[in-house]
Structure 1
Amino acid sequence: MHRSFTCLLSCFLLIAQVSHSRPCTDSLALQRLQNTVHQLQTSPLVRNGTAALSVRRVRDGVVLLDYNAQMSLPSASTLKLATTATALAVVGDNYTYRTTLEYDGTIRDSVLNGNLYIRGSGDPSLGSNRFAEFADAPTLLRTWTEMVQSAGIKQIGGAVIGDATAIRSLPVPDTWVWGDMGNYYGAGVSGLNFNENLYRAVFKPARIVGQPAPLLRTEPATPFLRLQNNVRTGPRGSGDEVIIYNAPFTTQVFLEGTVPTGVSEFGVKGSLPDPSFFTAFALHEQLARVGITVSNPPQAIGPGRNPEIAIAPGGKRTQLHLHTSVPLAELARLTNHQSINLYAESLLLLAGNALAQAPVTTEQAIQHLVRFWQSKGVDLSGFRPKDGSGLSPIGAVTAASLSGILAAMSKEKSFLPFYDSIPVVGESGTVKSLGRGTAAAGNVRAKSGTIEGVRAYAGYATSVDGELLSFTLLVNKYQPGSLKGVMSYLEQLMAELTALKAND
């Protein structure tokens, strides 16, 4: 009787932003949680912005607390949870990408009268050095070269061709901004990715601040790019303040900003505008180094290219080598731990292609993602993503929709690999330094999200009585220079999640 009265009283105390559909459990802890998020919303830190929180009990999806949870807000990288959850649920945690080295035509007297192909399947990890037991880019190039040699080929009459036709979407979503696309975190997705579609631009900072910083080289070499270097020398310890501007399939690259003085060299990561061409170029160069001549320049086929390009005298291809990726569970873990946009965009297309049973665009993949979770009973009102990674500045979700997806994911066969893919607060990934010394450390798994003016966290928390909770916490348009104060509130909120008693 007393417990029911207390719950009823707390419902009257909660302000209008809070959902009244939650169960009457542990009202004092819920009130404390609501008070904290309300204090954040009404503080000078967020006086021109929005704080939103949604908390659900995972086993039945019941809402414990919704605060501004129906407002569409930028998700930043917390959207990667929806993307990785969908991919794991649709194709399974053991799924692997396959990349093949192939040729067409015939081999006669050590001459391949045809083309050599690297046929991709959209693997974002091909050639990455993140996996100790899988070949990195130099190792793959050597392996492919050895396979050509083993086939008795000493001359190729056609070309080395990067085949990116497995994915029909253009490399980047149309809502990404130019200031992101040329940088490592803005690398576009391709049917044939390689070494995470990255290169390093290496500069020589001057001794005097403000002086030009000459570009020494790129790693690997990219002679097909026209690099216009306007980078200057910044203060000692200022770090990477370089912005690289380019667009898919273009060769003109602009380098702006500063690198710090006090070091002999300083490297900055950029994105390759044409990954499939680069893969063909790199293999072409590797073959030349061992004396295998190729008659024609390297080429690439796939979205955004001239469909009339003549590439195949025959059509039938013979496989020389098969490379298999790490399982999807590991790719999802890297996506969520390291927040790699390329991986997220690739997994979105993977899920979309599987759901459509045909190649789809990014926009179409999002539509299939939405329909998939709606079919599971998730209310996706206000769920309006524009990509799979959250890099788009105009994509939006509601806190309620994302926490709903997280709760629904618990019913999928691949839930445990998904749950394990999310970093532990205070221990791993992008939240390793978050919440240390608080109850959140070790008891909350959270994906972080950061774009300009946005700080977000979403994932799972274990309540004081052992219930698993899903949550989404979004802060949009906090005051410039106030991040430290905002983070103090966010850490407190995550700690308070673990104090809830969620059992009926």
Structure 2
Amino acid sequence: MLAFARLLFYSLSCLSTSYAFSPGAGASGPPTADSAAVQQLVNQLDAFQSSPAVRYGTVALSVRRVRDGQELIGYNARQSLPSASTLKLITTATALAVLSPGYTYTTTLEYDGVIQDSILTGNIYIRGTGDPSLGSGRFTGYPDQSTLIKSWATAIRNAGIKRIQGTVVGDASLYADLTTPTTWPFGDLGNYYGASLSALNINENLYRVTFKPGRSVGAATTVARFEPAVPYLNFRNTVTTDAPNTGDQVNIFGAPFQTQQWLTGKVPLTSEFTVKGALPDPAYHAAYALQQQLVASNITVANPPLSVGGGLPATVDLSASRTRLAQYQSPALADLVRETNFQSINLYAEALLRTTALALRKSVPSTDSSISVLATYWKSKGVNLDGFRIRDGSGLSTTGALTADNMTGVLTAMTREQAFTAFYGTIPVVGQSGTVRSLARGTAAAGKIRAKSGSIEGVRAYAGYFTSADGEQMSFCLLVNKFTPGRNRDVTAELEKVFVRLVGLTAR
């Protein structure tokens, strides 16, 4: 009876409690959604919140009707909680709204100085503008690193250059700061998902290391190879062999611009096992790879490769006039966003955050200032961002937080943008695609919800859109914070039940 009373009689002041129902800012009266269906969902959330899986943590849910922005369910929806990778929805929505779905990045191969008698007295530059997909090979019709580097070497040869009396420079000077968010865990930085952003990214800023396990459990491993080659890095390998089928237990410790890397953990007993690490200086790697290809093509280079930008001092004159040799255009932004949301690529999200901020404000010197620009943009659209305390563009930060209400506010505002149709298509379908393809399979929710997932230690999160039983488009955000270790399956089962109830709601 008490819960039902809370359903019918509420005020905006109760929105931070576990029983919070709101028909929208400034409105009054009971929700227009079917009260019985809502109450059943709230009862389920109450049971979930008090269960052994989450009793020491927090469950939050916001459900908003996009037609008029009316919030129909707000369960702990004003509590700031870690978003994990659901934050990528806000980052990618902003990018599409500001830049347009057809936006592309341009990377330019240039030289300064003069060419005389097949000798370039000057430097070769690879000038980056933040393209996260450069050389990834992820997109059909676009080159991987090897193919791209070979095309640049050909362009240099076609310019009549047989000797470079200078340096191959990876020019990442567009970003003068150390672009790694300060709140990213140190233990993540050497792994592929913690790869730092550069204005000149290459191969998604990762390398692959293949281990040869020992002959028995506990035996030391050896490193069979690195792809691409990274001989300028120093590795200490303490990885050992575990039982067959135990999966990837490797952690790589490193930091931006540091050449020492530590390979730790275990790999399963098998013939070979490959994991991915983060390039500490992607711009340097691009310059190094090009110089190696030039040497293989019988074009000599007088000096070692180098990189500039990302907080590194400029050791070459960046103001010198340059001549373009080749230009590379990235896939369209809509395609980059789809990969960001389907595959949850942190690097892509961080790149889009910085690029969007620069488009909105010409001088944005840091990640923090980029976040401020993003927040200002959505506030100008009327979104309430009280409690919005994000620290990056991807959600990898463990200290960043937002409210479920923040998320549905942005998602609802996005439906009024010209780029919404493109954005909607970049969100995976529950039970069918992306990181939610295995979620709620065989239930009434499968195929009816578009959602981005998020997962960091102790956090499970989902946000996106669904269509109610009476045909209304709805935005939602579901956050679970500090769930009990070892209860992952219980949490997943409860979340699937929530999804089923969501698609059964009526909102008119």
Structure 2 unmatched ranges of 5 or more: 24-30
Q: Which residue of 2 aligns with 1:49?
A: 57
Task: Give deviations 1:55-112, integer Å, cap 9, x for gaps.
Answer: 0001111000000011111100000001001111111111100000000001000001
Aligned CA-pair RMSD: 1.6
Q: Which residue of 2 aligns with 1:111?
A: 119
Corresponding position: 1:438 with 2:443? yes
Corresponding position: 1:474 with 2:474? no
Q: Give the conservation status (yes or no) of the 8 Å contact 1:353–1:360.
A: no
Q: Give the conservation status (yes or no) of the 8 Å contact 1:166–1:359.
A: no
In the TM superposition, residue 359 of structure 1 has moved relative to its aligned partner by 3.8
Identify which of 236, 241, 248 aligns with 2:244. Answer: 236
In the TM superposition, residue 475 of structure 1 has moved relative to its aligned partner by 0.3
Q: Give the conservation status (yes or no) of the 8 Å contact 1:423–1:447.
A: yes
In the TM superposition, residue 190 of structure 1 has moved relative to its aligned partner by 0.2
Identify which of 304, 313, 316 aligns with 1:310. Answer: 316
C-alpha separation in 2, matches of 1:85 and 1:33? 28
Q: Which residue of 2 aligns with 1:208?
A: 216
In the TM superposition, residue 13 of structure 1 has moved relative to its aligned partner by 10
If the length of structure 2 is used for normalisation, what is the TM-score? 0.95
C-alpha separation in 2, matches of 1:250 and 1:265? 27
In the TM superposition, residue 351 of structure 1 has moved relative to its aligned partner by 1.1
Q: Which residue of 1 aligns with 2:22?
A: 21
C-alpha separation in 1, matches of 2:485 and 2:138? 35
Q: Give the conservation status (yes or no) of the 8 Å contact 1:186–1:341.
A: yes
In the TM superposition, residue 500 of structure 1 has moved relative to its aligned partner by 1.1
1:123-138 equivalences in 2 (<5 Å): 123-138=131-146
Q: Give the conservation status (yes or no) of the 8 Å contact 1:446–1:460.
A: yes
Q: Give the conservation status (yes or no) of the 8 Å contact 1:352–1:360.
A: no
Structure 2 residue matching 1:241: 3-state secondary structure:
coil
C-alpha separation in 1, matches of 2:406 and 2:165? 55
In the TM superposition, residue 7 of structure 1 has moved relative to its aligned partner by 9.0
Q: Which amino acid aligns with 1:206?
A: G
In the TM superposition, residue 32 of structure 1 has moved relative to its aligned partner by 1.4
Corresponding position: 1:31 with 2:28? no
Q: Which amino acid aligns with 2:267?
A: V
Q: Cα gap change, 1:250/1:9 in structure 2, threshold over 3 Å: closer, same or farther?
A: closer
Identify which of 287, 293, 298 aligns with 2:294. Answer: 287
Give % identity: 54
In the TM superposition, residue 9 of structure 1 has moved relative to its aligned partner by 8.1
C-alpha separation in 2, matches of 1:146 and 1:20? 63
Q: Which amino acid aligns with 2:365?
A: V
Q: Which amino acid aligns with 2:418?
A: K
Corresponding position: 1:323 with 2:328? yes
C-alpha separation in 2, matches of 1:39 and 1:12? 22
Q: Which amino acid aligns with 2:506?
A: K
Corresponding position: 1:451 with 2:456? yes
Task: Give deviations 1:441-484, integer Å, cap 9, x for gaps.
Answer: 11100000000010000000111111110000000111111111
Task: Give deviations 1:239-287, integer Å, cap 9, x for gaps.
Answer: 11010000000100011101111x2221110000000000000000000
In the TM superposition, residue 44 of structure 1 has moved relative to its aligned partner by 1.3
Q: Which residue of 2 aligns with 1:265?
A: 272
Corresponding position: 1:388 with 2:393? yes
C-alpha separation in 2, matches of 1:187 and 1:426? 29
Q: Which residue of 2 aligns with 1:3?
A: none
Q: Which residue of 1 aligns with 2:365?
A: 360
C-alpha separation in 2, matches of 1:202 and 1:64? 51
C-alpha separation in 1, matches of 2:71 and 2:484? 30
C-alpha separation in 2, matches of 1:410 and 1:169? 34
Q: Which residue of 2 aligns with 1:496?
A: 501
Q: Which residue of 2 aligns with 1:224?
A: 232
In the TM superposition, residue 390 of structure 1 has moved relative to its aligned partner by 0.4
Q: Which amino acid aligns with 2:403?
A: T
Q: Cα gap change, 1:374/1:9 in structure 2, threshold over 3 Å: closer, same or farther?
A: closer
In the TM superposition, residue 8 of structure 1 has moved relative to its aligned partner by 7.4
Q: Which residue of 2 aligns with 1:418?
A: 423
Corresponding position: 1:375 with 2:372? no
In the TM superposition, residue 25 of structure 1 has moved relative to its aligned partner by 2.5
Identify which of 325, 340, 346 aligns with 1:341. Answer: 346
In the TM superposition, residue 24 of structure 1 has moved relative to its aligned partner by 2.4
Q: Give the conservation status (yes or no) of the 8 Å contact 1:183–1:243.
A: yes
Runs of 4+ in structure 1 over 6 Å off:
6-9
Task: Give deviations 1:296-340, integer Å, cap 9, x for gaps.
Answer: 000111122123x1346x811010111000111111100000000
Q: Which amino acid aligns with 1:265?
A: E
Q: Which amino acid aligns with 1:407?
A: T
Q: Give the conservation status (yes or no) of the 8 Å contact 2:383–2:409.
A: yes
C-alpha separation in 1, matches of 2:316 and 2:72? 60
Structure 1 residue matching 2:375: 3-state secondary structure:
helix
Q: Which residue of 1 aligns with 2:8?
A: 11
Identify which of 268, 288, 303 aligns with 1:296. Answer: 303
